[in-house]
Amino acid sequence: MGIEGIGARVLRKEDKRFITGAGRYTDDHKIAGMHFAAFVRSPHAYAKIKKINIKEASKMSGVAGIFNGKELTGDGIGNIICGWMVHSKDGSPMNMGAWSALATEYVRYVGDAVAVVIAESLEEAQAAAEAVEVDYKVLKAVVTAEQAMGLKAPQLHPEAKNNVIFDWEIGEEDATDAAFAKAANVVELDIRNNRLVPNPMEPRSALVQYDAAEDHFTLHTTSQNPHVARLVLSAFYQVAPENKLRVIAPDVGGGFGAKIYIYPEEIVCLWAAKRAGVAAVKWTADRSESFLTDAHGRDHFSKAKMAFDKNNKITGFKIETLANLGAYMSLFSSSVPTYLYATLLSGQYNIPNIHCNVKTVYTNTVPVDAYRGAGRPEATYLVERMMTTAARQLGVDPAELRRNNFIQEFPHQTPVIMAYDAGDFGASLDAAMAEIKYSDFEKRRKKSAKNGMLRGIGMSCYIEACGIAPSAAVGSLGAGVGLWESAEVRVNPVGTVEVLTGSHSHGQGHETTFAQLVTERFGLPKDNVQIVHGDTDKVQFGMGTYGSRSGAVGMSAIEKALDKVEAKAKKIAAHMLEAAEGDIEIKDGEVMVKGTDKKLGWHEVCLGAYTGHNLPEGMEPGLKEGAFYDPTNFTFPAGCYICEVEVDPNTGVTTIEKFVAADDFGKIINPMIVEGQVHGGLAQGIGQAMMENAVYDDDGQLLSASYMDYTMPRADNLPNFHVSTTETLCPGNPLGIKGCGEAGAIGSPPAVINAITDAIGHNNLTMPASPQNVWAAINDGGMAEAAE
Amino acid sequence: MAKVEITVNGKATSANVEDRTLLVDYLRETRNLTGTHVGCDTSQCGACVVHVDGKAVKSCTMLAAQASGSDVKTIEGVAGNGALHPMQEAFHQNHGLQCGFCTPGMIMAGIDMVNRLGPKLDEKIIRAELEGNICRCTGYHNIVKSIAAGAKEMGKGMKKAAQ
């Protein structure tokens, strides 16, 4: 692998600018003549806009323009769309309500933008926004999915009767029902997956530069996928044609899904800059705005039952899920509780019959979309809490029940679309059990009991789907886009290399790991390789970074482009060295004829490509190749997480004593980066399990809308993590990569809750397991058994 | 308006600013020192930590006028003589950052921790001391490791200086 090649723990190339304060995030950019945008937002969850009075506000100092939703739609700016069509089980298309970037007649959640002020300074924009008077007729709001479907619930969109967006199903219901009819045992579980706020540390931001002479826009923005942003802004929102819109996502301070979508603020800033006739407009969310406008995650309620035969083999799994999508359908909101969720309900297990029904509904809350894991955490939480619940009910060890039902042969076709290509679930279970000393647990439990503490252990054997995904497959499932990736490898005449990628790094370290591929291939030092991403003027097109796809899809595109570069370089070298092409080898920065001492420096071959003095007959000069890689399948990272906790029964305070992760991510390019991804994912998963919760009151006010109310995991809430990997290569892509970005957040919540419910001795606990909730659960009963 | 005179990273600076101008806005907007970040509006996240007269301060909780007459150090002023500060180097060596947004605040808080508590910092102390800094990427594992390693290196420097 070499010291900087594939598999090496290479320190990050991008670190220096971040540790010296030289990172350049969107809000760090300034442009001459820059104005600022401030939004007038609804304080009500549901209301009719009667009148907007801007008379006083427009007279205030520095104000360049105040605009509303009718002006926006009047200028032909299109409604915000959901880009994934899902059909109900009766064949009807999803019921998508209209979403204008500035509300026109109704506001449907607290924070919904009503008007925008453009002014010379931020302070002036904010002052004028406060002076805009909006006269609302307040309507009764609805915040939970259960209530939204009720007969007396307010109707939020005329398109969606009873607020139902779609009523979808997957799997064979009759066959599943038949399995239950014959079951020896049935285990039932009702489960809630709490609503979360993604909270990347950098708030969203947009900086629009408008060149009136050219009628050209440049948008700097906090995006995980700048090319998708440009496509959608052009094709659907009609802000500007693609050739008149450059989107740059510079350094981006975390995404976690929340920065996939094209939000009202970007659309409005682009449109308003031109309409106000100013050179540039900047908007940066404050944290309260982030809570109120960044797409939220999760928010499912499910009723599930699992059938077992007399040998404790699973024979059927039936699930009904209700998903709250908020006030409007966000860009990929329909795919999350369907194709990213229910397709993983087979978990790591042989389950011959599965049926899942998913109803999605509108409520007067922030739109819900993909957040780290997106659907797969919800599936894993359901399956893995079910397995532990079943083990308790059936009186068997949770590890053995899982092992007894593991899929052992690959490829394996599940009843819910997915065809698992490779894996060794027993290997990760064994590794995790050994690391946590599972067999000695009861001794540790007794020791804790002597100190008056409740000790518990819980596991989660997750599988997820990454490398999203074969374009034709997702197209057939309703996706409005293809999900391939592109790369271009540009070799300079002196032999240094630029890799242009459609993936986007916002913390994942692509500038290092992508360079490692080039280092591995040609033996060049990593500092001779530059990764270029995040600019639609530089990189032709790309689908961006989410769904742990940058390794499996993005790097595969780079490998394909490198193949082409290598092939051409070999042809040139063979010609220069008068050798057969098949005898040429590129290694350690040298190009040599195998078995001889004939060789050239890599830079000599590259220079030869550009001088064009001595090329094979008919060959074009230059050394630059591009590739588009379309995945052949999803990839399937899997693993086992085990959590051990101690609960203080007097206070409900729960401490994680040890957390063990054994993951199979396929081929690993840089173990240091992969471990970092797992650590971060675990923190978010443990955050969901124990701390985080987006809480609305009955009127639709978000009560947890700041870091004083929404509990972000902090250093003293978390343990050191024991992470390790096992490896089965993914057969579907050239490097054998599965993906590692989300596993931690997907696999950890059920491990934590299974541990706490083990400690307290009963199952009646819902996330987040805050001290208050755990204390209440202990005092619900069941404590005596646990403390025996 | 208030006239403020602040020494920033060793350089005398002055400007007339609105009374309500926060120190962080003075640094970012007036002085163009954008390494200090704003991650929240309730003084919880710590992305804006700088040193004022040698002590860690959340620069979003202090008015620029309050800092007048003070010596302020930001992340841009931490490295000296072309070499990284040992705490910066430790974050690099231990993969203590991912997206980099919280990192300046983490490094400033880490240096302050050593200044206050000395170079022997165990995991428990570091985790407790980090209660004012939020990171969403790293799960803190490698930040804790980085600060411990940086503290050790700073300790060596202190020892050398004492000799």
DSSP string for residues in A549-568: -IIIIIIHHHHHHHHHHHHH
Shared fold status for A31-139+201-254+259-293 and A147-193+295-396 = no
Residues of A (703-722) whose Cβ lies below 8 Å from B: 706-708, 712-716, 718, 720-721
Q: Do B99 and A19 touch (CB under 8 A)?
A: no
Does any CB of chain B come closer than 8 Å to the CB of residue A32?
Answer: no
Show the tokens assigned to A568.
């051409």
So what's the pLDDT on residue A581?
Answer: 96
Crossing angle of the two packed helices A671-690 and A743-760, in degrees rounded to 10:
40
CB-CB neighbors (< 8 A) of B100 in chain A: 14-15, 17-19, 23, 251, 253, 507
What's at A476, amino acid-wise? S
Torsion of CA B143, B149, B154, B155, to 10 degrees: 130
Cα A345 from chain centre: 19
Is A508 within 8 Å of B98 (Cβ atoms)? yes
**A377: CB partners within 8 A, 6+ apart:** A193, A298, A685, A688, A742, A745, A746, A749
Alpha helices in A277-361 (DSSP H): 287-293
Residue whose structure tokens are 């594992």 = B141
So what's the pLDDT on residue B159?
Answer: 86
Minimum CA–CA partner of A197 in chain B: B136
Show the tokens assigned to A312.
């404790």
**A401: CB partners within 8 A, 6+ apart:** A312, A387, A390, A391, A394
Q: Pick B41's closest partner by Cβ from A15, A17, A286.
A: A286
| Architecture category of domain A147-193+295-396 in CATH | 2-Layer Sandwich (3.30)
Residues of A (86-105) whose Cβ lies below 8 Å from B: none
**A627: CB partners within 8 A, 6+ apart:** A486, A487, A488, A557, A558, A560, A561, A563, A564
Is A440 within 8 Å of A751 (Cβ atoms)? no
Q: Do B40 and A508 touch (CB under 8 A)?
A: no
- Alpha carbon distance B107, B37 (integer Å): 13
Total residues found in chain B within this entry: 163
Q: Do B45 and A17 touch (CB under 8 A)?
A: no
Query: How many degrees, rounded to 5, is the angle at CA A294 between CA A19 and CA A146?
Result: 140
Q: What is the largest CA-CA distance in chain A?
A: 86
Eight-state DSSP code of residue A252: -
Interface test with B, best of A9, A19, A656 (most B CBs within 10 A): A19
Is A678 within 8 Å of A671 (Cβ atoms)? no
Distances from the Cα of A179 to the Cαs of A317, A458, A624, A640, A755, in angstroms? 9, 28, 58, 28, 30
Nearest chain B CA: its distance from A568 CA (Å)? 36
Nearest chain A CA: its distance from B86 CA (Å)? 11
- Alpha carbon distance A79, A77 (integer Å): 7
CB-CB neighbors (< 8 A) of A34 in chain B: none
Q: Give A15-20+484-629's CATH code, choosing from 3.10.450.50, 2.70.70.10, 3.40.190.10, 3.30.365.10.
A: 3.30.365.10
Interface test with B, best of A15, A220, A282 (most B CBs within 10 A): A15
**B148: CB partners within 8 A, 6+ apart:** B121, B122, B123, B126
Query: Phi, psi at residue A638, to the nearest 5°?
Result: -150, 165
Does any CB of chain B come closer than 8 Å to the CB of residue A681?
Answer: yes
Q: Do B141 and A681 touch (CB under 8 A)?
A: no
So what's the pLDDT on residue A781?
Answer: 60
* Parallel, antiparallel or unpaired: strands A216-221 and A205-211: antiparallel
How crowded is the C-beta side of B72, counted as CA atoms within 13 Å?
A: 33
So what's the pLDDT on residue A1?
Answer: 52
CB-CB neighbors (< 8 A) of B28 in chain A: 28
Q: Do A21 and B36 touch (CB under 8 A)?
A: yes
Is A629 within 8 Å of A482 (Cβ atoms)? no
**A437: CB partners within 8 A, 6+ apart:** none
CB atoms within 10 A of CB B32: 10
* Parallel, antiparallel or unpaired: strands B2-8 and B71-73: parallel
How many residue contacts between A and B have a Cβ separation below 8 Å?
A: 179
Distances from the Cα of A35 to the Cαs of A356, A515, B36, in angstroms? 50, 38, 22
Does any CB of chain A come closer than 8 Å to the CB of residue B42?
Answer: yes
Distances from the Cα of B115 to the Cαs of A238, B51, B105, B111, B119, in angstroms? 55, 11, 15, 6, 8
Nearest chain A CA: its distance from B71 CA (Å)? 18
End-to-end CA separation in angstroms for chain A: 54
**CATH code of the region A31-139+201-254+259-293:** 3.90.1170.50
Residues of A (626-665) whose Cβ lies below 8 Å from B: none
**A763: CB partners within 8 A, 6+ apart:** A189, A389, A392, A757
Q: What is the ipTM of this complex?
A: 0.98
Which of A253, A193, A353, A265 lies closest to A40, judged by CA?
A: A265
Show the tokens assigned to A180.
């239950």
Is A654 within 8 Å of A757 (Cβ atoms)? no
What's at B16, amino acid-wise? N
Nearest chain B CA: its distance from A14 CA (Å)? 9
| Architecture category of domain A421-462+636-788 in CATH | 2-Layer Sandwich (3.30)
Q: Pick B100's closest partner by Cβ from A11, A18, A708.
A: A18
Eight-state DSSP code of residue A204: P
E strands, A648-726, in order: 654-664, 721-726
CB-CB neighbors (< 8 A) of A681 in chain B: 139
| Average pLDDT, consecutive stretches of 10 residues, N- to C-terminus, chain A (788 residues) | 87 98 98 97 98 98 98 97 97 98 98 98 98 98 96 96 98 98 98 98 98 98 97 96 97 98 98 98 97 98 98 98 98 97 98 98 98 98 98 98 98 97 98 98 98 98 94 92 95 98 97 98 96 97 94 97 98 97 95 96 97 96 97 96 98 98 98 98 98 98 97 97 97 96 98 98 94 92 41
Which of B128, B100, B80 lies closest to B37, judged by CA?
A: B100
Residue ranges of the domains in chain A?
A: 15-20+484-629, 31-139+201-254+259-293, 147-193+295-396, 421-462+636-788
Eight-state DSSP code of residue B29: I
Q: Do B127 and A683 touch (CB under 8 A)?
A: no
Which of A37, A163, A43 lies closest to A103, judged by CA?
A: A43
What's at A241, amino acid-wise? P
Does any CB of chain B come closer than 8 Å to the CB of residue A28?
Answer: yes
So what's the pLDDT on residue A786?
Answer: 37
Handedness of CA A8, A729, A519, A553 (dihedral sign): negative
Residues of A (162-181) whose Cβ lies below 8 Å from B: none
How crowded is the C-beta side of A220, counted as CA atoms within 13 Å?
A: 20
Is A534 within 8 Å of A249 (Cβ atoms)? yes
Residues of B (62-81) whose Cβ lies below 8 Å from A: 74-76, 78-79
DSSP per-residue string spanning A227-249: HHHHHHHHHTT-SS-GGGEEEE-
Is A143 within 8 Å of A364 (Cβ atoms)? yes
Is A110 within 8 Å of A695 (Cβ atoms)? no
- Alpha carbon distance A507, A554 (integer Å): 15
Query: Phi, psi at residue A545, to the nearest 5°?
Result: -120, 115
Is A551 within 8 Å of A558 (Cβ atoms)? no
Q: Do A23 and B35 touch (CB under 8 A)?
A: yes
Interface test with B, best of A12, A20, A707 (most B CBs within 10 A): A20
Nearest chain A CA: its distance from B161 CA (Å)? 24
Q: Pick A718's closest partner by Cβ from B74, B95, B140.
A: B140
So what's the pLDDT on residue A280?
Answer: 98
Q: Do B141 and A721 touch (CB under 8 A)?
A: yes
Q: What is the largest CA-CA distance in chain B?
A: 48
Query: Phi, psi at residue A436, to the nearest 5°?
Result: -90, 0
* Parallel, antiparallel or unpaired: strands A314-324 and A205-211: unpaired
**B163: CB partners within 8 A, 6+ apart:** none
Q: Do B76 and A22 touch (CB under 8 A)?
A: yes
Residues of A (104-143) whose Cβ lies below 8 Å from B: 123
Handedness of CA A389, A394, A397, A400 (dihedral sign): negative
- In chain B, the percentage of residues whose pLDDT exceeds 70 is 100
Q: Do B130 and A721 touch (CB under 8 A)?
A: no
> In this structure, which long-range contacts are made by residues A614-619, counting pairs with CB atoms below 8 Å and at least 24 apart in sequence?
A614/A575, A614/A576, A615/A572, A615/A575, A616/A571, A616/A572, A616/A574, A616/A575, A619/A568, A619/A571, A619/A572
Does any CB of chain A come closer than 8 Å to the CB of residue B133?
Answer: yes
Distances from the Cα of A49 to the Cαs of A73, A99, A410, in angstroms? 16, 15, 58
Q: Does the global pTM surpass 0.90?
A: yes
CB-CB neighbors (< 8 A) of B40 in chain A: 286-287, 706-707
